[in-house]
Amino acid sequence: MLIAGNWKMFKGPAEAAAFCRELRATELPADVEVVVCPPFVSLSEAVQTLAGTEIGVFAQNCHWERDGAFTGEVSAPMLRELGVYGTIVGHSERRQYFGETDETVAKRARTALAEGLHVIACVGETGADRDAGETSEVLRRQTAVLEHDENLVVAYEPVWAIGTGKTATPAMADEAHELIKSVLDVPVLYGGSVKPDNAAELLGQGAVDGALVGGASLDVDSFAAICLAASPS
């Protein structure tokens, strides 16, 4: 099981360091892989504060070129130099607000993996896709551009469930995960309003290998509670 906390555009360096100090003092289950994904400016603090622990630090995005004239972007070698372990790519907020496409997501994933980063690649249908009966087609299309890699995991995040308090039913999540795995045989995380009180049920589904947690990862107690819910022991 992998539980990743996607902080989005929250927690500058000081807050990130305070969170990580508290997290490293918190008892977390040994059989759950725990990852935090701070904004770029807070990565260094997170890496330093969590040094010597099993908690991984991931970025939220990463460019497909190693360097170049790409104002505002950050590359995989730069993240590696900082001690960052992996990166999210293709989050629906990047697709929705920053013009990310299946092709750019695939390129970002490919380079990050080639440079030695672990990758969480996000896929998920919008509410309109689901209403139109196009969920399977969208998930297939978004997943098919990715290439299998032992350091790649996919996060299934139904866009209508992100930050809304609505979650896919455990059965819906399981079905979507099975479909994604039939296209690409990698672990699949569920994301979209995962909270301490619904985590155990969602994570109990056979095809759910962990969670990508947004809002509930911003507080140490609720994040730790979700990590505990992921532990079968």
In angstroms, what is the C-alpha Rg of the chain? 16
User: How many angstroms from the chain centroid is the CA of residue 19?
Assistant: 18
Segment interacting with ligand PGA, rule: CB under 6 A, options 98-106, 128-136, 197-205, 211-219: 211-219
CA dist., res. 164 & res. 83, Å (int): 33
For ligand PGA, the binding residue among 38, 56, 196, 215 (CB under 6 A) is 215
CB of 216 to ligand PGA, least distance (A): 6
Of the two residues 81 and 97, which places its CB atom closer to ligand PGA in the complex?
A: 97
End-to-end, the C-alpha distance of the chain in Å comes to: 12
CA dist., res. 233 & res. 231, Å (int): 5
Give the contact letters, 158-177, x = binds to ligand PGA (CB under 6 A), - = no. Answer: ----xx--------------
The dihedrals phi and psi of 207, each to the nearest 5 degrees, come to -95, 10
Of the two residues 77 and 157, which places its CB atom closer to ligand PGA in the complex?
A: 157
Q: Token pair for residue 135?
A: 């969920």
On whether the CB atoms of residues 37 and 5 are closer than 8 A, the answer is yes
User: How many angstroms from the chain centroid is the CA of residue 25?
Assistant: 23
CB of 218 to ligand PGA, least distance (A): 9
Site for ligand PGA in 34-63 (CB under 6 A): none
Of the two residues 64 and 190, which places its CB atom closer to ligand PGA in the complex?
A: 190
Site for ligand PGA in 87-146 (CB under 6 A): none
Q: Token pair for residue 226?
A: 């979700």
Which residue's C-beta sits nearest to ligand PGA?
214
Q: Token pair for residue 194?
A: 């995962």
For ligand PGA, the binding residue among 214, 224, 226, 230 (CB under 6 A) is 214
CA dist., res. 200 & res. 230, Å (int): 6
Nearest to 157 by CA among 197, 105, 113, 107: 105
Of the two residues 10 and 181, which places its CB atom closer to ligand PGA in the complex?
A: 10
Catalytic annotation, residues: 91, 157
Report if residue 6 touches ligand PGA, rule: CB under 6 A: yes
For ligand PGA, the binding residue among 90, 191, 196, 210 (CB under 6 A) is 191
Number of residues that bind ligand PGA (CB under 6 A): 13
For ligand PGA, the binding residue among 173, 213, 227, 229 (CB under 6 A) is 213
Strands 2-6 and 210-213: parallel
CA dist., res. 115 & res. 108, Å (int): 11
Binding residues vs ligand PGA (CB under 6 A): 6, 157, 162-163, 191-194, 212-216
